[in-house]
Structure 1
Amino acid sequence: KALDAVRDGGRVAYPHGVEPEPRMRSGLTLHAYDGDPDPETIRKLNQLIEAGPFEVHVAQVFPLDQAGEAHRALERHHLGKLALRPSAA
């Protein structure tokens, strides 16, 4: 639906890995890109890592036997990190 809102002659850029891939429409130019961070971004990330512990926020944890449901959550464009737990702990 978002592409339908782009005027003829418009350009759309999207990161590789978007599923489903945007469908081409006449009058548009689509371009996929790799999000390569610049050296300054890498430097800032390294500073954060070296600064000490940080917390990764996991939205939902699935037991390994529910990997299919975890994958379906990803397909629904689930927001947040998902994790699989290999064994009951």
Structure 2
Amino acid sequence: MVSLAWATPVISNAFMLLTDRANFIPRESSIWTFEPYEINRGSSNYWLYGEDAHRYYYFVYTPDEPYRSIAKRNQCAGFDKRDVRTWCTP
């Protein structure tokens, strides 16, 4: 069980959730599979972009839409996982 925890992002995700109340794991993902790949460099260390095996996520942090997600297998022309402006709608 311990080696499984080290082989997954669960430890870093748990730390992220405990240290900053703005952080959360998208409902389509899990603490075991979600991996932030871009972190805010301000006073809070919340994720801006993240991914799991099937989807990419962008932290919007508005009450109506806390995040956006898109399938990794998508048909967006010019898609860049680090630029939400290139994410087309399904």
User: TM-score if structure 1 supplies the norm length?
Assistant: 0.22
Relative to its length, the structure with more helix (as a share) is 1
Structure with the larger RCO, 1 or 2 (CA within 8 Å, 6+ apart): 1
Flag the structure with larger Rg: 1
User: TM-score if structure 2 supplies the norm length?
Assistant: 0.22
